[in-house]
Structure 1
Amino acid sequence: MPSSRLTAALAALATAVLVPLAAVPASAEELPAFYQAPATLPAANGDLVRSEPMRFLLDPAGASRVAVTSTRVLYRSTDRTGEPIAVSGSVFVPKARWAGPGPRPVIGYAVGTQGIGDDCAPSRQFSEGLEYEGVFMSGLLARGYAIAMTDYEGLGTAGMHTYMDRESQGHAVLDAVRAAQRLPGSGLSAASPVGLYGYSQGGAGSASAAELAPTYAPELKVKGAVAGAVPADLTALPGAIDSSIFTEFLWFAIAGQTASYGVDIDPYLNDAGRALYAEIADDCVFDLFNAAFRSSEDYTADGVSLGGLIAREPFRTMIDDQRIGRRAPAVPVLVTHSLLDDVVPYRVGKQLAKDWCAGGATVRLSTNASPGHIGGMLNNAAEVYGYLEARFAGVPAVSSCRRL
């Protein structure tokens, strides 16, 4: 990645953490009409409910609108239980003719943590110029790849965003690719080669999609996946981020998991906890300071930390269900992780690679020493280009499994 792009990426990520709450639009009392699901959804997963042109502000001047066709989509997917749901997302297709061999590839792009409020949905943030993922998308679009990006379940659409729900996120990523291939005028089709990409929450989305693709979307021509800083084992997170600047990620996860499993969280919280829980329901990643440096012990009914709470039922089973690594992807995967990651411990990413290797997958583990979780995102973004180019070209993937 050129130094100028690295600088832009750092600025965007710093903004994502440091922008004051006033800079983020307040949640609407009612969802915009586009995001409201019809009474009856289409018949097949990935089928479009509706689409509309989208203003895509990759840069402050809006110059990207000249080079990319941007479309907001609403499509059918399935939740954790297999029930049909409407999920929103975005499709980006370069206007320049694809110069490579065969059909234009499409990247199933799983976004990193956005928050859990409906206003946080990338398909809405792109039009506001506040979406940090735009920086990392630029290199993929410059290479001529199309991008299919999901907002995930409940992010933009009705209901709570099921943050870190393994199956729901994997389904949403794969169905976004299907929706892009079925979008009239996109130039994409079922013959389009597919790559999967994501970091952090997006790393989990990409990893889960890679695991689920052979059974959930066997017709997709997935060639490879890149998954960075994957929170493959959620039990490792409370010890790393409780009472830190990233504490709110824990509350996002509890909110998402309890919503997915229909568990009432109120009995497990004290009055302060219930107030905090209500407050974060509309928060985006910009709002991390709302819960930063607070200990979760101060918000539970019996003073146990969230780390202790998830060791008990019904939370223990819910969290265990989200474990990634118990089935091996059928395509090569690049796993990136920083030794200095301060959100998702490095040992989690390494164990994921080992688990996949034990299952027979072709895995390359790329370890770096970038500063913190945010620094690791830059390494992940820089490595994706060469890795996916090689997969699309049919070059055999290098494996790290013998040395893990």
Structure 2
Amino acid sequence: MVSVKREHRARPASRWSILPRLVADAPPAITLVVGAIVLILALLIITRPLTSLVLLTVYVGVSVVLSGVSEVVRTTDAGSLPRRLFGGAWIVVGLALLIGLGRTLEELPGILAMLLVLAGLASLFDAITQGSVSERVLATAWGGAQIVFGVLALTWPDVTLLVVAVVFGVRSAVFGLTLIIRGLRGFGPGSGGRRAMSDAFTAPPEYHDAPSRVAHRWRATGRFALSLVLVLLASGSWYLGSWIQSGAPVVDAFYDPPAVVPYDNGRLIRADAFSGQSPPGGDVQRILYTTRDALGRPAVASALVITPTESRPGARPVVVWNHGTTGVARGCAPSLRDASATHWAIPGLNDALERGWVVVASDYSGQGAPGVFPYLIGRGEARSSLDAVLAARELDGVALSRSTVAWGHSQGGHAALWMAEIAADYAPDIDLLGAAVLAPVTDPLELADEVTRNVATAELSIISSWVLVPYADTYDDVDLSRYVAPGAQTLVREMTQRCPTEPGVIVSVATALGVSEDSPLFPADLTTGPLGARLAENAATGPWDVPILVAWGDADEVIPARLQEGFVERACAQGDEVRWTVYAGYDHLATVLPRSRFLPVLISWTDALFTGRDAPTDDCARYADAAP
């Protein structure tokens, strides 16, 4: 047998695991108790990542501090200074975690990312300064993998919490089981002084019997194999992250406002050609313009202006299209999508252009242009759309008449109703003749009460974040922490940064699913308190001085038909001129699709308003004694 030199140093991978070394030589009883405690805590972290967030933070903080202390006092060789610096940095980070526990719950993803990068750098230093060839290769692969995962943790902070919880939990569960086995073996016959089975988390013991050359080769082979696995795992994770990021919409410089913009609302800042698809017989431009947000503060918004290519004398009537829910992030703006100026995105667009109408489609403030997106916040939505019309008048070669009709679907229906409610006061130079709303949100509070009665799902969690975050960012009295589970604000805010059409939405879904079995992201009732009051404040209640056209499907899976029926009943009761139509078998989107049976009704109703002929039918008068 060929002897080799005894190893007295700890392997690089084990340096940062202080607890295993502290209990390595403990009596069997203590080992057994510690193992049971660690196993219970590990299972809690794995199965209840959100509930155990404080526990996870304390666990990480204590481990980091103890590991840093161990590194500072352990190193005595000539190359000890860099290691002590690493150890000191870990002590500082660990103390910061523990001292600022309440605040660091939300900052935990960034702190964990920093720890991963720091640990990766330490491993790379180990690869340079010590070890055999296989140990250096493993330290290099492990260090590089930790740095990669640290960068990804900064990119996906919501998922980081769940992944770290699982990693720490599984790691600790294995360690706890190992301690339990070690403790039980310690009570067996002939166990005195005998070291129990080693595990992946303890520092390797000194070899009392020199290993054989064959054993050395097996260990080296194992290190090389593990290095390959780490490289493949890090590369695959990086590729996946890059693929997800590449699918996110890119907000180009057009949407960035200049340092100085006109103070008045409805002023054109700039215009540019639209690079996406154009409808037959139409030219498309995108515009950036000034507006006011929900609280009346200066803001900037973007829109598409679609004009007929056929030249006609005189000013053209205007249809304002208010789009439905596309998300609440800047990148979710319809004007960033290739097909947003087609009849698939704007119902009846081709017919409108054939009749010589100009279609103006706002993104609303906060989409495309920076700012807070007014999701289901009536005045913010309506001001963005009204100011888009005013700004479009400043385009060269476009003559717009004062005659305007608002169209809108879902969230956009909410915006169109609010346009009709505030147009006379906010934009008196626009003659808003009517509003056609397709499957509209009419009362955000009523809808919130309806959807929150259902079992919490990933989709519901994402939609709830889309409502809650813009309301919290708009209204000072809506406190996010009142409605979101402790430590989950990062998760909720990250959900609002992705659009449903981009690959990154799978990250939001994974996050929502990951915590759904733990505790709800929104433990408080969203329909109560300041949020409930603000939702009620944004109900479209009228009265309206212009005709309203309402259409919905009786199979609408988003907004129950009975909510639309209640809206019509209330509008008719207060004397509004309302026409409604219900389509059997239509779901939430069916009314806006190109073959919808509603589109001829929409076009003829709008044409009657523009021409003044064949005034729209008032169904309140026709069916005064019948509910819709």
- TM band (smaller chain): 0.7 to 0.9
Identify the match of residue 536 of structure 2 among 320, 328, 334: 320
Q: Which residue of 2 aligns with 1:196?
A: 406
Change (3 A) 1:338 1:74: same
Between the aligned partners of 2:575 and 2:515, the Cα distance in structure 1 is 44
Matches of 1:246 and 1:390, distance apart in 2: 40
Letter in structure 1 aligned against 2:253:
A
Does structure 2 retain, via aligned residues, the 8 Å contact 1:113–1:201?
Answer: yes
* Aligned residue among 355, 362, 373 for 1:150: 362
Superposed CA offset, 1:319-356 (max 9, x none)? 1111111x222211101122221111222222222333
Instruction: Quote the residue 1:236 is aligned against.
Output: 446
Within 2, Cα distance between the matches of 1:304 and 1:25? 27
Cα distance in structure 1, aligned partners of 2:348 and 2:245:
22
In structure 2, how many angstroms separate the alpha carbons of the residues matched to 1:289 and 1:145?
A: 39
| 1:38 maps to amino acid | P
- Find the aligned partners of 1:178 and 1:293 in 2 and give their Cα distance: 43
CA distance in 2, matches of 1:313, 1:46: 35
2:559 aligned residue: 344
Which whole-Å CA distance do the structure 2 matches of 1:360 and 1:130 have between them?
A: 36
CA separation of 1:138/1:256 partners in 2, compared to 1, >3 Å: closer, same or farther?
A: farther
How far 1:110 moved relative to its partner? Answer: 0.4
Q: CA deviation at 1:184?
A: 2.1
Greater mean deviation of Cα atoms: 365-374 or 296-305? 296-305
- The structure with the greater share of residues assigned to strand is 1
Provide the C-alpha distance between the structure 1 equivalents of 2:415 and 2:312, rounded to a whole number of angstroms. 27
Which of 357, 368, 373 aligns to 2:572? It is: 357
Q: What is the one-letter code of the residue matched to 1:350?
A: E
CA distance in 1, matches of 2:545, 2:281: 34
For the structure 1 residues 260 and 150, does the alpha-carbon distance in structure 2 shift closer, same or farther, using more than 3 Å as the test? same
The answer to whether the 8 Å contact 2:465/2:493 transfers is: no
Q: Distance in 2 between matches of 1:343 and 1:293?
A: 22
Task: Give unmatched runs, 5+ long, in structure 1.
Answer: 1-20, 59-63
The 3-state SS of whatever aligns with 2:492 is helix
TM-score by length of 2: 0.54
Give, as a single letter, the amino acid of the residue that structure 2 aligns with 1:389: D
Separation of aligned partners in 1, 2:425 and 2:588: 32
Kept in 2: contact 1:338–1:373 (CA 8 A): yes
Match of 2:585? Answer: 370
2:616 counterpart of 1:397: yes
Distance (Å, rounded) in 2 between the aligned partners of 1:157 and 1:276 = 24
Q: Contact 2:319/2:407 (CA < 8 Å) preserved in 1?
A: yes
Name which of structure 1's ranges 387-396 and 282-291 shifts more when overlaid on structure 2: 282-291
Give 1:52's aligned residue.
272
Structure-1 residue corresponding to 2:606: 388
In 2, Cα distance between the equivalents of 1:301 and 1:215? Answer: 49
AA partner of residue 425 (structure 2) = T
- Using the TM superposition, give the Cα deviation of residue 141 of structure 1 relative to its aligned residue in structure 2, in angstroms: 2.4
2:610 corresponds to which letter in structure 1? F
Kindly indicate whether the alpha-carbon contact (under 8 Å) linking 2:457 and 2:516 is maintained by their aligned counterparts in 1: no
The answer to whether the Cα contact below 8 Å between 2:320 and 2:405 also exists between their aligned partners in 1 is yes
1:217-228 matches, within 5 Å, as: 217-228=427-438
Q: In 1, are the aligned partners of 2:263 and 2:298 still within 8 Å (CA)?
A: no
- Assess if the C-alpha contact under 8 Å between 1:121 and 1:151 holds in 2: yes
**What letter matches 1:153 in structure 2?**
S
* More divergent stretch after superposition (313-322 vs 246-255): 246-255
Paired with 1:370 and 1:290, the residues of 2 have a C-alpha distance of 33
CA distance in 1, matches of 2:446, 2:511: 18
Deviation at 1:292, TM superposition (A): 5.8
Task: Select the residue among 34, 38, 41 that pairs with 2:254.
Answer: 34
What is the CA distance between 1:80 and its match in structure 2? Answer: 1.3
What secondary structure sits across from 2:338 in the alignment? helix
Match of 2:58 in 1: none
The 1:38–1:343 alpha-carbon spacing in structure 2 relative to 1, beyond 3 Å, is same
The superposition leaves residues 101-153 of structure 1 with CA deviations (integer Å, 9 ceiling, x where unpaired) of: x6321111101111112121112113799995156533322332111111112
Q: Structure 1 residue 367: deviation in Å?
A: 1.5
Deviation at 1:174?
A: 1.0
Match of residue 257 from structure 1: 471
Task: Compute the RMSD of aligned alpha carbons.
Answer: 3.2
Aligned CA distance change for structure 1 residues 130 and 391 (closer, same or farther; 3 Å): closer
Q: What amino acid maps onto 1:279 in structure 2?
A: E
- C-alpha distance in 2 between matches for 1:296 and 1:167: 34
Residue number among 327, 350, 354 corresponding to 1:138 in the alignment: 350
| Secondary structure of 1:310's aligned partner | coil
The CA distance in 1 between the partners of 2:517 and 2:275, in whole Å, is: 43
Secondary structure class of the residue paired with 1:96: coil
Q: Mean alpha-carbon deviation: is it higher for 69-78 or for 344-353?
A: 344-353
Give 2:418's aligned residue. 208
Q: Per-residue displacement from partner, 1:156-184 (whole Å, max 9, x unpaired)? A: 11133221111100111111111122222
- Work out the CA distance in 2 between the residues paired with 1:160 and 1:216: 20
Task: Give the TM-score normalised by structure 1.
Answer: 0.81
**Separation (CA, whole Å) in 1 of partners of 2:260 and 2:577:** 41
2:249–2:336 CA contact under 8 A, matched in 1: no
Instruction: Tell me if the contact between 1:41 and 1:84 (Cα under 8 Å) persists in the aligned partners.
Output: no
The structural deviation recorded for 1:268 is 3.2
SS in 1 for 2:589: helix
The structure with the largest alpha-carbon Rg is 2
Contact 2:306 2:341 in 1 (8 A): no
- Equivalent of 1:180, from 377, 384, 392? 392
Q: Distance in 1 between matches of 2:380 and 2:518?
A: 29
Aligned to 1:94: 308
**Residues 27-60 of structure 1, C-alpha deviation per residue, up to 9 Å, x if partnerless?**
55xx5332122344324321111111222314xx
Q: Is the 8 A contact 2:265 2:292 kept in 1?
A: yes
d(CA) in 1 for partners of 2:446, 2:436: 21
Letter in 2 for 1:399: D
Q: Which amino acid aligns with 1:32?
A: D
Deviations 1:8-37 (A, max 9, x none): xxxxxxxxxxxxx95973255xx5332122
SS at match of 1:373: coil
Mapped contact 1:244–1:294 kept (Cα < 8 A): no
- Structure 2: distance between partners of 1:329 and 1:293: 43
In the other structure, the counterpart of 1:61 is: none
- Paired residues of 1:340 and 1:370 also in contact (CA < 8 A): yes
What percent of counterpart residues are identical?
Answer: 25
Residue 611 of structure 2 aligns to which amino acid in structure 1?
A
Question: What is the rounded CA distance, in whole Å, between the counterparts of 1:184 and 1:69 in structure 2?
Answer: 13
Which of 265, 280, 285 is matched with 1:71 structurally?
285
Supply the distance in 1 between the matched residues of 2:492 and 2:485 (Cα, whole angstroms).
Answer: 10
Amino acid of the structure 2 residue aligned with 1:166: G
Deviation, structure 1 residue 264 = 4.2
Please tell me whether the aligned partners of residues 55 and 127 of structure 1 are also in contact (alpha carbons under 8 angstroms). Answer: no
Q: Which amino acid aligns with 1:35?
A: Y
Specify whether residues 171 and 36 from structure 1 end up closer, same or farther in structure 2 by C-alpha distance, changes over 3 A only: same
User: For residues 386 and 300 of structure 1, do their structure 2 counterparts lie closer, same or farther at Cα, with a shift above 3 Å needed?
Assistant: farther
The yes-or-no answer on 1:117 pairing with 2:329 is yes
Q: CA deviation at 1:78?
A: 0.8
| Higher RCO (Cα < 8 Å, 6 or more apart) | 1
CA contact (8 A) 1:165 1:260 kept: no
Count residues in correspondence: 370
Deviates most, 297-306 or 374-383: 297-306
* Partners of 1:270 and 1:299 within 8 A in 2: no
